[in-house]
Amino acid sequence: MNLLENKRWAEAIAMRIASEWELRDDWPEDAVLMEKTIAKLLTMHPEECEKLIGTGIIESDFFNDLKPEGVKDNEAYCWLSEDILIVCPEYPDDCRYIRFVENGKEVAYWHAEEWQNEPANVMGAIAGALMHAVSGNCISESIKLICRHKVKPSIVKWAESDDPEPYDASDPSKYKQER
C-alpha cells in the first residue's frame, strides 16, 4: 500500500472509530482528538492500518463506490498527491483525454487530437505537470509556467480560471472553436 492510499485508509478507519464511540456526543472535542490521533498513528504504521482493513472495523470495499470530487462515474483516476489526481476514461473506453484535477477542480486537460498534432509539446507539458504534482507543488501554478513555454493557450485558460469548465469530449468541434 502506498503512502497516499495508507493515509486515506487511516483517516477512514479513524473516522469510523471516533464516530462510533458512544461518548462522542458528550465529549465532541475528545472525539475529534481521538480521530486525529488514531489517523496519525495508523498513518505512521501502515502495517497496523492494513490489519484493520476487511475486519468489522472497516470493510475492504469501503472506497469502491466513492469517487473523489471532480471525477465522473466513467473515469479512472490515480492520486498524485494529497490534492491532485490524474484522470482518464475508464477501461474499456479508449483513452481520449487526460485531465488533472486539483482540489476537485480541473486545472489541465489534453485531448487525443492535441497529442496527435503536437506530441512532443503535449507530452512535455504532461510530464512537467506530473513532476510538479508528485513533488508537492500546486499544479495550477505549475501548469501556468509550463504553458508559457510550449503549450497552446487553450490549456492556460483552464489553469488561470477560478472555475475551469471541464472539456466536453462529446463535442470536439466546440473545443477547436475556443482556441
Residue appearing with cell numbers 469510523? 16
pLDDT value at residue 61:
83
pLDDT value at residue 137:
64
Q: What is the pLDDT of residues 125-136, one digit of tens each?
A: 888 888 877 776
Can you list the positions of beta strands (E) in the chain? 75-79, 84-89, 97-102, 105-111
pLDDT value at residue 131:
81
pLDDT value at residue 29:
93
Residue appearing with cell numbers 492520486? 79
pLDDT value at residue 63:
75
Cα 2 to Cα 14: distance, rounded to the nearest angstrom: 18
pLDDT value at residue 149:
44
Query: Can you tell me whether residue 96 is helix, strand or coil?
Result: coil
Q: Which residues are bridge partners to 15 per DSSP?
A: none
- Paired sense of beta strands 75-79 and 84-89, if any: antiparallel
Residue numbers in the chain where pLDDT is lower than 70 = 64-65, 136-179
Cα 17 to Cα 165: distance, rounded to the nearest angstrom: 38
Q: Domain boundaries in the chain?
A: 3-52, 75-178
